[in-house]
Amino acid sequence: MTEKELIEKGYKKYTGKDIDVFYNKDMCCHSGNCTHGNGEVFKVCRRPWVLPDNAAAEEVKAVVETCPSGALQYIMKK
């Protein structure tokens, strides 16, 4: 999906140097895969709660891919 399509579907963009993470709160099933997968990138008590540059892009990608609901998506920049 393109960034434009994700935004049109209600996703919010969290910009990183090598990867952008997109989150749709209406789709989230609160499995905790993201926060348990990497608490430095995904931390619900912090604003913004997603900091894509707090880990290598490949690691962020791997965590996002564990999201069972599809509430998290990503676009690699390189």
10-67 residue pLDDT tens? 999 999 999 999 999 999 999 999 999 999 999 999 999 999 999 999 999 999 999 9
Give the residue, 6 or 78, on which the prediction is more confident: 6
Domain spans of the chain, in order of start: 3-76
Please give the model's pTM, rounded to 2 decimal places.
0.96
Q: Mind listing the pLDDT tens digit for each residue in 65-76?
A: 999 999 999 999
- Asked if 61 and 19 count as a contact pair (C-beta separation under 8 A), the reply is yes
Q: Where are the alpha helices (DSSP H) in the chain?
A: 3-8, 33-37, 57-64
Q: Which pLDDT value is given to residue 78?
A: 72
Report the topology of domain 3-76.
Alpha-Beta Plaits (3.30.70)
